[in-house]
Amino acid sequence: MAELIHPEEKIEIKAAVTKPITKIALIGNPNSGKSSLFNQLTGLNQKVGNFPGVTVDKKTGICQLAPQQKARIIDLPGTYSLYPKSLDEKVIIDLLYNQQSDLYPDLVIVTADASNLKRNLLLFTQLVDLQIPAVLALNMMDVAEKDGVKINMEQLQQDLGVPIIPVNARTGSGIAALKIVISQQLPVPNRAFFQIPEEFSGLIKPIRQYFNLQTDYLAWHFAHQYKNLTFLSETDKRFLSDLLGQYSFNSNTLQASETINRYTLINELLLDSVRVEKADTNEKFSNRLDQILTHKIWGYLIFFGVLFMMFQAIFAWATYPMDLIDEGITAINNFIQARFDGPLINLLTEGVIAGLGGILIFIPQIALLFAFIAILEETGYMARVTFMMDKIMRKFGLNGKSIVPLISGVACAVPAVMAARNIDNWKDRMITIFVTPLMSCSARIPVYTVLIALVVPEKYYLGFLNLQGMVLMGLYLLGFTAAVLSAWVMKLILKARERSYFIMEFPVYKMPRWKNVGLTIIEKVKAFVFEAGKVIIAISIILWVMASYGPGNRVAQAEQTVQQQAQQYNWTPAETSLHLSTQKLEASYAGVLGRAMEPVIRPLGFDWKIGIALLTSFAAREVFVGTISTIYSVGDEENIKTIKEKLLSEKDEAGQIFFTPARAFSLLIFYVFAMQCMSTLAVVYRETKSWKWPIMQLFYMSGLAYVCSFIVYQIFK
């Protein structure tokens, strides 16, 4: 090829094209302001995914460092050291110790809380010993100053051997300086904080050679943690375990002495550069507040007040946007149906768009719920709640932190299962995820309301205690009791992989950072819509097909019969279309399945019509009311009253009223327990990364529902 371009120019062009985006990992203690810093650096350019092979969220974002320079920021789970204790934290070592990983960083930003420098520096010194280029972002300088902590920056920078940038992740000050520093090529830190004991040098050398590692300290971590490193092959692991067998390598003792050595060194270091001049006022303020907020009586009262407010918000405020979404979806469907016709259009409107509506309608509730949870987390109050609830929850195999998912479950199990991610103990987390769907979610409300209206008289006791309201509350309590008791059973069955502990930093009370709250909401809503949405739409389509087509030409025959009857009895077009939909549904595959189910559900008092409703409820429980009104041809302008009248006039084969209290209660109990939510199963699969859990849930909850309904029906009938 002729040299058309001058060699130097060519190199320059090539460099500009192939210059890779710098990968920057963000690491730090929990509560060190890491997430705020991530939000400051990346704003709305965030993406949430999963780390390969695990359920832990992987947040990455693009940061514009300079006009021509971008960096990819990878937000790692908060951790106190490079010896991970929870599954979430294990992600960190998998990423930092595997140079072949796509996410292996060119640089790490370590965030540290300046008001608690000692503990924050432990992780920092470990990272420096790995010799990855690092910057220390010293956060919360304002808090430290208020506490009377004076830091000599120059001295500290010299002692630590890496650039230190004071930042305020709340206000954004210092971010520009941080960007300038990270846009430059930083040298590998040349300071070592820890000496590997002499007697293990014979162990380190072969590990370094075998894996081609750059530092002794990395080899040291391979020796400690090879079992946790997913990127090592079985041969690699056997090599390490054989090698370790030749040494008396006690990982626990060695880690303990390493930690003590590091702290000793950090203490000495900080003597030079940090002076504390007056007592810590911030801590005192928090402590005073805690005397009220974690008080024996006030503590619980305030907590229940907060819960009450949360539910009010979720139930009352969320209805307006939910109605709007519902109306919007109906309007779109009507618009399309008025202009086009045909099976494909029906699939689009009744299958896809209706399914989509079933997802979108939950957005207001999910957004509100996560707004509340984010605010409670941000202020530091959530830590107090888990603290107050831990002893009670522990009795049932749960953990103080399980309270958040359980409470959220009353709104919707989908975000609640996602909220269980805060629980770092594997067993506690699995039990929490397993029992959360037993909490009565808001989708059960329409079913409860219709059936209660049907069989519970509207009576008042003491002038204000509404009997129907009390039954409703009873159903919620029933769900909660079932959740707690199931947790207790699970506790006995499930084998623990790790020990349960509750060692947790008690954060200082703070004002919430609204930007973080907003970003959390966006992130959770996105995760829900895209992850659970896929499954719901698929199921909606399947259900639509089952309800629209039947074996042979049965559906066409049903259509003909209705047309004939319409002429015969002089039905209005509205009446005709009502009968049409009822007859078609009966003739469809869904109707056939309902009939086939009948022998199984007969002992519960249900007939094939309810069978169809149970089947369609599987897409989402609130579909029950719609299905029932279709089957009993209530008409489009359904409301609870007309449904009630229609159901009350329904007769069984012997001419008796079909919906007896026994049948209605049996159905109610069924809806309290049964797992009838594709979205929840989809989310549980996503969170546990295995079909084992959702399948177990499906069988356990449906079995429980069946047995309890059976008992209720047999007793009351």
Partner 1 sequence: MQKRKSVRDLKVGESGTICCLNDPEMSLKLLEMGCIPGTPVKLNSKAPLGDPITIIVNDYTLSLRLDEAGTILLK
Least distance in angstroms from the C-beta of 495 to partner 1: 17
**Nearer Cβ to partner 1 (238/391):** 391
496 binds partner 1 (CB under 8 A): no
Amino acid at 605: G
Closest separation in Å from C-beta 78 to partner 1: 13
Binding part of the chain for partner 1, among 193-201, 317-325, 388-396, 652-660 by CB under 8 A, reads 388-396
- 228 is a contact residue toward partner 1 (CB under 8 A): no
Is 585 strand, coil or helix?
helix
Q: Mark residues 134-153: x for contact with partner 1 by CB under 8 A, - for none.
A: -------------x------
Identify the CA nearest to 135 among candidates 100, 111, 104, 156: 111
Q: Both ends of the chain: CA-CA distance in Å?
A: 92
Q: What is the C-alpha separation between 12 and 716, in angstroms, rounded?
A: 85
Residue 143 counted as an annotated binding residue: no
Q: Which is nearer to partner 1, 302 or 314 (CB)?
A: 302
Select the span of 60-68, 253-261, 304-312, 691-699 touching partner 1 (CB under 8 A). 253-261
Would the annotation count 57 as a binding residue?
A: yes
Three-state DSSP class for residue 486 = helix
CB atoms within 10 A of CB 199: 10
31 annotated as belonging to a binding site for a ligand: yes
Nearer to partner 1, 248 or 252 (CB): 252
Sequence-distant (≥ 6) Cβ neighbours of residue 517 within 8 angstroms: 371, 374, 375, 378
Q: For residue 325, what is the enclosing H or E element?
A: helix 319-339
CB 266 within 8 A of CB 122: yes
Give the H/E segment covering residue 472: helix 467-493
Q: Is 33 annotated as a binding residue?
A: yes
Nearer to partner 1, 96 or 367 (CB): 96
Instruction: Answer whether 115's CB lies under 8 Å from 194's CB.
Output: no
Count of residues binding partner 1 (CB under 8 A)? 43
Q: Does residue 707 belong to the site contacting partner 1 (CB under 8 A)? A: no
140 is in an annotated binding site: yes
CB of 370 to partner 1, least distance (A): 24
Dihedral of the alpha carbons of 377, 382, 384, 387, in degrees to the nearest 10: -130
For 574-624, list the strands marked E by DSSP: none
Q: Which two tokens stand for residue 281?
A: 């006022």
Beta-carbon neighbour count of residue 689 at 10 Å? 13
Q: Which of 387, 434, 618, 700 binds partner 1 (CB under 8 A)?
A: 387
Residue 119 interacting with partner 1 (CB under 8 A):
yes
The three-class DSSP label of residue 318 is coil
Residue linked to tokens 């405020």: 317
689 binding partner 1? (CB under 8 A): no
Least separation in angstroms between residue 298's CB and partner 1 is: 10
Radius of gyration of the chain (CA): 31
- Interface residue with partner 1 among 383, 406, 411, 601 (CB under 8 A) is 383
Question: DSSP 3-state assignment of 395?
Answer: coil
Nearer to partner 1, 302 or 555 (CB): 302
Whether residue 32 is annotated as binding a ligand: the answer is yes
Interatomic CA distance for residues 406 and 634, integer angstroms: 36
Match 């519960």 to its residue by tokens: 604
- CA nearest to 25, candidates 171, 192, 137: 137
DSSP structure class, residue 173: B
Contacting residue, 391, 459, 497, 692, with partner 1 by CB under 8 A: 391
Judge whether 344 and 337 are in contact, CB under 8 Å.
Answer: no
Binding mask 54-93 for partner 1 (x = CB under 8 A): --------------------------xx-x-x--------
Q: Is 306 annotated as a binding residue?
A: no
Residues 291-320, one symbol each (x = binds partner 1 by CB under 8 A, - = not), give x--xxx--xx--------------------
Cβ–Cβ under 8 Å, residues 448 and 682: no
Taking the complex as a whole, how short is the minimal distance between the CB of residue 106 and partner 1, in angstroms? 27
Residue 10 interacts with partner 1 (CB under 8 A): yes or no: no
Structure tokens at 92: 């960190």
614-653 footprint of partner 1 as x/- string (CB under 8 A):
----------------------------------------
Q: Is 256 in the site for partner 1 (CB under 8 A)?
A: yes
- Region from 356-364, 503-511, 617-625, 707-715 binding partner 1, contact rule CB under 8 A: 503-511
- Binder among 57, 390, 638, 650 for partner 1 (CB under 8 A): 390
Interface contacts to partner 1, rule CB under 8 A: 80-81, 83, 85, 115-116, 118-119, 122, 147, 252-253, 255-256, 259-260, 263, 280, 283, 286-287, 290-291, 294-296, 299-300, 383, 387-388, 390-392, 400, 499, 501-506, 508
